[in-house]
């Protein structure tokens, strides 16, 4: 059974970098059939896909246009985890952040999800 465990601070100051980590158990971040995603949810923006990292003989990333200039998602094969870095945060980045796996060629949907991390952007 695959489980995703999120960690990271719940409070970030404006203009600083939001960093969250998602530890994977039961699968590999280097899997050739999985993609590792970050998704956020807020009352004003609903569910918003932020981006993903995945390995297909080499590493790839895709980022949502809304955050493309500020986001980096990085894999860590030594710890079997992946991380979200969102820089220059503003109060509108306040949201519940989730990590999630999808396997487009096997089960085209996000499953499982991490437990969620509420991140508040405030001074």
Q: Which residues bind another protein (CB under 8 A)?
A: 37, 46-49, 62, 64-65, 98, 102, 107-111, 113-116
| CA proximity to 20, closest of 101, 81, 80 | 81
- Minimum Å gap between C-beta 54 and another protein is 11
CA–CA gap between residue 51 and residue 72 (Å, rounded): 9
SS3 content of the chain, % helix, strand, coil (to 5): 0, 60, 40
Contact 74, 82 (CB under 8 A): yes
CA–CA gap between residue 57 and residue 88 (Å, rounded): 32
- Minimum Å gap between C-beta 75 and another protein is 18
Rounded to the nearest 5 degrees, what angle is found at the Cα of 72, between the Cα atoms of 17 and 96?
Answer: 60
Report the residue number, 11 or 47, with the smaller CB distance to another protein: 47
- Minimum Å gap between C-beta 7 and another protein is 15
- Minimum Å gap between C-beta 10 and another protein is 16
Report the residue number, 87 or 115, with the smaller CB distance to another protein: 115
Quickly tell me which residue has 């999120």 as its tokens. Answer: 6
Report the residue number, 8 or 16, with the smaller CB distance to another protein: 8
Report the residue number, 60 or 88, with the smaller CB distance to another protein: 60
């Amino acid at each position: 059974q695959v489980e995703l465990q999120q960690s990271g601070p719940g409070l970030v100051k404006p203009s600083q970098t939001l960093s969250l980590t998602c530890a994977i158990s039961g699968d590999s971040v280097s899997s050739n059939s999985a993609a590792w995603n970050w998704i956020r949810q807020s009352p004003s923006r609903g569910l918003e896909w932020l981006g993903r990292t995945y390995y297909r003989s080499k590493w790839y990333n895709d980022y949502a246009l809304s955050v493309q200039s500020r986001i980096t998602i990085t894999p860590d094969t030594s710890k079997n985890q992946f991380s979200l870095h969102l820089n220059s945060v503003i109060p509108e980045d306040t949201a519940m952040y989730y990590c999630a796996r999808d396997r487009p060629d096997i089960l085209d949907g996000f499953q499982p999800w991490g437990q969620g991390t509420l991140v508040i952007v405030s001074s």
